[in-house]
Structure 1
Amino acid sequence: MNTYQFKQTGGGNYASLRATWPFAKLTVNETQLSLNISLCTLHFRPADLISIEPSDSGGIRINHTVNNYRTPVIFKSFGDARELMEQIARTGFLNNKSALPPDVEANILNLQAQGGFAIKLPAIILIIIGWNAILLPNFYRVIVLKQDQYFHTGPRLSSVYMILICLGLIFIAPFRELILKEGRTLDDVKLFVCFILALCIATLIISSIIPTMAA
C-alpha cells in the first residue's frame, strides 16, 4: 500500500468561482484526491477522473465524471504543472485500480452527493437575512432620514455579527453542525472563515477609530 500523501497550497477555479493563493488546497493520497477552493471542497475517487492535464491558465485541470460537480476544476500553484502532476502520480492515485475500502468509498460518495459547497443553503439564507436586518435600518436612517451620526453604526454591528458567526464556526461544534453539511469539517472552511474574521475585525476597528479622529 502506498502511504505517500501530497499536499499543496495555491489558487483554483471551480465553475465560476475563482480563488487566489492561499485559498485553494490540493490533497492527494492513494485513494482520494480532494481540492478545497474557498468554501467548496471536491472529493474524487480514482475512478471519477478522466484525466489530469496542464491547464491553459496555469496549474492543472481535473477532468472528472462526477454529476454533482461542475466544470472546470483547476488548481494553480507557483510550481511547474508537470512537476505537480508527477507528485500526484507518486501517491499512486492515478493508477489505483483496486476497490476502495467500503468506508472510504461510502464517505466520498456521500460528500459528492451533497455537491461541492460545504455550507447548508438554509444557513446561508439565514445569515444573509440577518446581515440585511442589521444594515437596512441603518441605511434608512443615514440616507432617508439624514441621521449622519449612524453612518458607522451599520458597519460596526454587521462586523460584530459576522465575527460572532465566524467564532461560532471555529470554536462551537454544535453551531458548526448547524451550518455545515453532513460530513463536512472545520478544515473545509477554516481558511476562508479566518479571512472573513480578520476582515471584520479590521472593519470594526477602523469604523470605531474614524469617528474618534474626526471628533
Structure 2
Amino acid sequence: MAEQLRLYSYWRSSAAYRVRIGLNIKGLAYETVPVHLVREGGQQHKPDYVAKNPQHMVPTLQHGVRVIRQSLAILEYLDEAWPSPRLLPMTARDRARVRALAQMVACDIHPLNNLRVLQYFDNTWNVPQAERDDWVKHWIVEGFTAMESLLAGDSATGTYCHGQTPGLADCCLVPQVFNARRFGVDVAAFPTIARIEQACLALPAFDQARPEKQPDAQV
C-alpha cells in the first residue's frame, strides 16, 4: 500500500468532497489533481481524462496503477484497504443502515441536481435559471425531509449519522448540506441534519475537506 494516492477532483464537486473527507478520516496523504468542470468547456471532457474516467466525471482515485471511480466505491475501497478508523460499522445490520443513508444522498438527491443535469436544462431545453434553482431545491428538500425523519427517529443516530464516530453516511451528508445552502435551502428546517453537519465540521478531517480550502478553490 505504499503507492501514491492521487485524487482527480473539483473543489465544488460534492462527490469529490465526500472522498476528500474519507481520505482525511483515514489520515491518508494524497495528491490533488484539479479537473475544472466548467473551464475550457469542462476539463472532464478532455481525452486524457476520459481515458481515466469514461463517464466524464469526478472524482477518480488513482492508487498506483489502480484507478477507482464512483465516490461510494472509492470510499469502500479506502475502508477495505485501510480498515482503521472504519467508515462502515462492524455488523451487517448497521452497515446496511449506513449504506442506505449514504445512498439517499449519493443515489437519490445528488444525481438530480448535479452540474451535468443543470447544464442539460440550460443548453438543451433553455430552462430559466429560476426554474433550475427551484428544481434543485425541490429534490434536496424532499430528500432531506425523508433523511431527517430517519435520523431523528432512530436510536442508532448519535453525534453523527450512526453512533459516536463519523462514517460513510456523514461523508455524503456534509457535502450535500453545502449544496443545499448554495441553492438557498433553509437547513434549519432539518435540525438533526444541521446538528450532525456542525459536529462533523468541528473535526479537522471535515474542516480540511471544505471546498473553499482546496487548492483549486475559486472564492
User: TM above 0.5, one fold?
Assistant: no
Which structure has greater helix proportion?
2
Bigger RCO of structures 1 and 2 (CA < 8 A, at least 6 apart): 2
Q: TM-score, normalised by structure 1?
A: 0.31
Which structure has greater strand proportion?
1
Q: TM-score, normalised by structure 2?
A: 0.30
